[in-house]
Amino acid sequence: MPEGVKTRILRVDSLRPDLDKLREAAEVIGRGGLVAFPTETVYGLGADAGNREAVMRIFRSKNRPADNPLIVHICELEDLESLAREVPEEAYRVAEKLWPGPVTVILWKSSEVIDEVTAGLPKVAIRMPSHPIASNLIKLCGVPIAAPSANLAGRPSPTTAEHVIRDLYGRIELIIDGGETLFGVESTIIDVTVRPPRLLRPGPIPVEELERVLGFGIEIPAYARGLAEAEAALSPGTRYRHYAPKTPIKLVEAERYDDYEAYASTVSEIAEREASKGLRIAILASRETSGYYSLRGFRVLVLGSRENPYEVAKNLFRVLRELDDLDLDLAICEGFEEKGLGLTIMNRLRKASGHNVIRV
């Protein structure tokens, strides 16, 4: 339930952030308050990572299960070494090539990390964001910031301040409006405490790029593909249902997607069967096939081009939220080839659908 907090909205230029405004936000965090802020991935909900009560308020404000760990955000490599112990060479390779950026590493936590942040687990998730607002805010706070996505638990992650306002207004002290985020999906998470390193959540940095940086292959378990849920919340996004709109989704997966007309025809048949039951339906489609469905009278929401998976990823959560605004009974969603960023897209879509998948 809402905590009855008075929420302020602070507009800040993402490219040239006003440091005086960010000092206001840092003061809120310093007092144990909660601040939503943009990162290059999605908006995060931040608190002082060393303040137990503030961290627990993150869970209460989001209705987040207490066994679902948080990511700790830093701005200096020295913070990595104080928050983690036995840091392997693989972590430094990731930091050297991909930080600041949308990659989170899982490491053995040091005694400085409170149990509330890691949900009692012996490992901690750490990343160094590249967004100017996020990096400057952390620097001004002078402490690492614990931050999950700034949405109610289970809902599509927020890519604009408006999304945060809808979910968390009246629950947190401050929302920094820095415009739309760049990538639109949460960070890639990789556990480097095991060999081979294990992908826990795909994100903006594809597996192929991680393997190039590390110099060897990484393990991709079923839950990282969105095919199952992990038995325990090993990191954010591995166990509980995530990214889900209120509107039910049926995801139509195929062995291949390059024959657009054949695939669109199959999806249309599925949609027509559902519509014949009296259901109000929308189709979530690629740009290449959207006209096919429109000609057949379906309401269509365009995710982006199959030729540009970054566009699809960036639009994904926004489209899922727009879907709910239509107040329909069901959405039929196209699948995407599971390579590169397509793995990230399919992870999110499988989870958003609650694993309600039709394979054709």
**For residues 99 and 127, is the Cβ–Cβ distance under 8 A?**
yes
How large is the average pLDDT for residues 98-126?
97
Q: Tell me whether residue 133 is in a domain.
A: yes
- Cα 148–Cα 115–Cα 240 angle in degrees, nearest 5: 45
For residue 241, pLDDT over 80 is answered with no
Indicate whether 287 and 165 sit together in one domain. Answer: no
Cα gap 320→63, rounded to integer Å = 20
Q: Tell me whether residue 131 is in a domain.
A: yes
Indicate whether 220 and 272 sit together in one domain. Answer: no
Q: Tell me whether residue 264 is in a domain.
A: yes
Q: Which residue reads 């209120």 in tokens?
A: 246
Indicate whether 191 and 273 sit together in one domain. Answer: no
For residue 330, pLDDT over 80 is answered with yes
Indicate whether 193 and 329 sit together in one domain. Answer: no
pLDDT band at 273 (very low <50, low <70, confident <90, very high): very high
Q: Which residue reads 């905590």 in tokens?
A: 3
| pLDDT tens per residue across span 115-147 | 999 999 999 999 999 999 999 999 999 999 999
| pLDDT tens per residue across span 147-172 | 999 999 988 999 999 999 999 999 99
Indicate whether 188 and 337 sit together in one domain. Answer: no
Indicate whether 162 and 280 sit together in one domain. Answer: no
Query: Secondary structure of the chain: what % helix, strand, coil (to 5)?
Result: 35, 20, 45
* CATH code of the domain in which 301 resides: 3.40.50.11030
Q: What is the mean pLDDT of the chain?
A: 94
pLDDT the model gives residue 244: 79
pLDDT the model gives residue 154: 84
Token pair in block for residue 33: 């308050």
Residue range of the domain that includes 76: 8-225
Q: Tell me whether residue 233 is in a domain.
A: no
Indicate whether 255 and 193 sit together in one domain. Answer: no
Handedness of CA 148, 151, 153, 156 (dihedral sign): negative
Q: Tell me whether residue 241 is in a domain.
A: no
* CATH code of the domain in which 51 resides: 3.90.870.10
For residue 238, pLDDT over 80 is answered with no
Indicate whether 96 and 166 sit together in one domain. Answer: yes
Q: Tell me whether residue 239 is in a domain.
A: no
Q: Tell me whether residue 204 is in a domain.
A: yes
List the beta bridge partners of residue 73: 127, 145
For residue 251, pLDDT over 60 is answered with yes
For residue 350, pLDDT over 80 is answered with yes
| pLDDT tens per residue across span 61-77 | 999 998 899 999 999 99
Q: 197-213 as b/e, with b when 16 or more CB fall inside 10 Å? A: bbbbbbbbbbbebbeeb
Indicate whether 93 and 211 sit together in one domain. Answer: yes
Indicate whether 255 and 157 sit together in one domain. Answer: no
Indicate whether 220 and 257 sit together in one domain. Answer: no
The DSSP call for residue 156 is P
| pLDDT tens per residue across span 195-228 | 999 999 999 999 999 999 999 999 999 999 988 7
Indicate whether 73 and 206 sit together in one domain. Answer: yes
CA dihedral 349, 149, 2, 171 (to 10 degrees): -150
Q: Tell me whether residue 244 is in a domain.
A: no
- Enter the pTM of the model: 0.92
Token pair in block for residue 20: 């005086």
What's the total number of domains in the chain? Answer: 2
| Other beta carbons less than 10 A from residue 231's beta carbon | 9
Burial class (CB in 10 A: 0-12, 13-18, 19+), 299: middle
| pLDDT tens per residue across span 27-62 | 999 999 999 999 999 999 999 999 999 999 999 999
How large is the average pLDDT for residues 178-187?
97
For residue 232, pLDDT over 80 is answered with no
The DSSP call for residue 235 is S
